[in-house]
Amino acid sequence: MKLKEEKELQSISEEYEKALQSFHKKNYAKAGEAFSRIVETYKDSEFYSVLEIQTRAKVFQSIAHAQTHPVKIKLESAQDHIGEGVFQLNAGDVTKAQEHFAIAEKNNCRDAYLYYLMATAYLRQEDTANVLRYIEKCLKKDACYKVIIYNEPDFEPLQQNADFLKLVE
């Protein structure tokens, strides 16, 4: 390795390490600025090893920018709220999921899938009465959900509940 390449590689490595430290501390604004400086400073390097680190810095710069400038999604339709509710349910925020499902229902969405999701949300809160209520609504809309609900591992705790079995058998 030539002396010039070694110096440039040493320099970019130090800067990159400092930027990564900020990134791992979740100081995304500072990290983004540091990665931007790296990208700009070393963009014309003639050395592959330096350009490789510079390219990695571009990736982290993009991630840091996404963290400091999150995309705001405007939820308009019932389907938008169902999608966001599923996201929140998967993220573990059952209360937010239920809020979105309730908005979808208020927007005249009377879909079997929505009722299935609502039953699932109440199941996570161990609210058996509401689980059964929404399973019943779901099955009135689409009886095919009997097979899905009966075989869904999430509903396994209700396999001994007589009211649940009446609905799905």
The pLDDT score that the predictor gives to residue 108 is: 84
pLDDT tens by residue, 70-97: 878 788 899 999 999 999 999 999 999 9
The three-state (H, E, C) secondary structure of the chain, written as one string: CCHHHHHHHHHHHHHHHHHHHHHHCCCHHHHHHHHHHHHHHCCCCCCHHHHHHHHHHHHHHHHHHHHHCCCCCCCCCHHHHHHHHHHHHHHCCHHHHHHHHHHHHHCCCCCHHHHHHHHHHHHHCCCHHHHHHHHHHHHHHCCCHHHHHHHCHHHHHHCCCHHHHHHHC
Extents of the domains making up the chain: 3-68, 78-168
Note the pLDDT of residue 110.
82
Task: List the CATH code of the domain at 78-168.
Answer: 1.25.40.10
Angle between helices 3-24 and 48-68 (to 10 degrees): 20
Residues in the chain where the model's pLDDT stays below 50: none
Q: What is the pLDDT of residue 71?
A: 79
Token pair recorded at residue 97: 């999921």
